[in-house]
Amino acid sequence: MASAAELRSIIGADLEFLASEQADMFLTVCVEMVANAFDHGGGIGGFRVRHDHARGLLTVEIDDFSSAPPRVVSGDPARLRGRGMAIVDGLTEWGVRPSGDGKTVWAVMSCVCRSSTRCAAITG
């Protein structure tokens, strides 16, 4: 990914079935997790987004090249960086599993679709 704006554009185009505030939250989670993979995980080895319409869930999985788990850091709200996983923790259920040469960090959040026709077409 070249930038957070590019990531938002790529993923956001596929989230039109969500209310805008849900899409914004999910995009924020994706951007924070990608930034964390670059900053602390040696880059991205894989990136997957899934939507389970039947269960009302959105999932993002990001593979990186470090075995070190992400840390949720709380602290000074005036800091410009370093709170990404705290944001992810506040908006989703998340976890980590070993994967290849590093790990996969995943996050799941519930969603409600605005349009079941559009939603069903994207499920998978």
Sign of dihedral through CA atoms 7, 107, 92, 89? Answer: negative
Cα gap 97→83, rounded to integer Å: 21
Instruction: Find the range with the poorest average confidence among 10-19, 49-58, 83-92.
Output: 10-19
Q: What average pLDDT does range 63-69 have in this prediction?
A: 95
Cα gap 67→61, rounded to integer Å: 15
Residues whose CB falls within 8 Å of the CB of residue 68, separated by 6 or more in sequence, listed in order: 40, 41, 103
Cα gap 18→59, rounded to integer Å: 14
Label residue 45 exposed, middle or buried (CB < 10 Å: 0-12, 13-18, 19+): middle
Q: Is residue 118 over pLDDT 70?
A: no
In this prediction the pTM is 0.83
Report residue 44 as tokens: 């991205």
pLDDT band at 121 (very low <50, low <70, confident <90, very high): very low
Structure confidence by residue, pLDDT tens digits, 27-58: 999 999 999 999 999 999 998 988 888 888 99
Structure confidence by residue, pLDDT tens digits, 102-111: 999 999 999 8
Mean pLDDT of the chain: 83
